[in-house]
């Protein structure tokens, strides 16, 4: 479940009145709060400029060459069977997609795709599952 969260200073009322106690109006906490998407913030994803169709196809071809040798035989078969349909789906949404990469921005890491379903206020994120490493918590 993806959601927007507020990040930044939190107003805390400790019962004191700074105006009565002689504090300046500018003293205190910087209360500049911003809204961020929790997944983007938690995993420190970096938004990338959008791809055009030619750039996207070139990225997919490069990604296939880089990821396939790293997969076991079963995952390779699954990936080869589904990558064409996944690519067509992403191409059909290309103008609506946002593109994110991990903080390290390695060439062989997957791009994370995000878009807003019609009427949605929270984004939907799409990943190539074979490119993710499972981490048990």
pLDDT digits (tens, 9 = 90+) for 63-88: 999 999 999 999 999 999 999 999 99
> Are 111 and 82 within one domain?
yes
Q: What is the pTM of this model?
A: 0.67
- Given a cut of 80, whether residue 39 has pLDDT beyond it is no
The model's confidence at residue 133, banded by pLDDT at 50, 70 and 90, is confident
> Are 25 and 84 within one domain?
no
Supply the range of the domain harboring residue 3: 1-42
Q: Cα–Cα distances in Å, from 8 out to 11, 36, 46, 58? A: 10, 10, 19, 39
> Are 30 and 96 within one domain?
no
> Are 63 and 38 within one domain?
no
Distance CA 123, CA 137 (A): 25
User: Is 116:123 a contact under the CB 8 Å cutoff?
Assistant: yes
In a domain, 137, yes or no: no
Tell me the average pLDDT of the chain. Answer: 77
What's the domain count of the chain?
Answer: 2
Span 23-47, mean pLDDT?
A: 61
> Are 104 and 125 within one domain?
yes
Give the model's pLDDT for residue 41. 64
Distance CA 13, CA 126 (A): 41
């Amino acid at each position: 479940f993806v959601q927007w969260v507020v990040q930044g200073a939190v107003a805390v009322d400790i019962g004191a009145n700074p105006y009565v106690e002689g504090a300046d109006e500018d003293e205190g906490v910087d209360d500049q709060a911003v809204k961020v998407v929790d997944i983007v913030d938690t995993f420190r994803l970096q938004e990338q400029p959008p791809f055009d169709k030619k750039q996207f196809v070139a990225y997919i071809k490069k990604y296939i060459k880089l990821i396939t040798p790293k997969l076991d035989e079963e995952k390779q078969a699954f990936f080869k069977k589904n990558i064409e349909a996944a690519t067509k789906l992403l191409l059909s949404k290309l103008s609506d997609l946002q593109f994110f990469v991990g903080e390290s921005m390695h060439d062989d890491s997957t791009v994370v795709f995000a878009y807003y379903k019609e009427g949605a206020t929270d984004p939907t994120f799409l990943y190539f599952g074979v490119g993710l490493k499972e981490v048990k918590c």
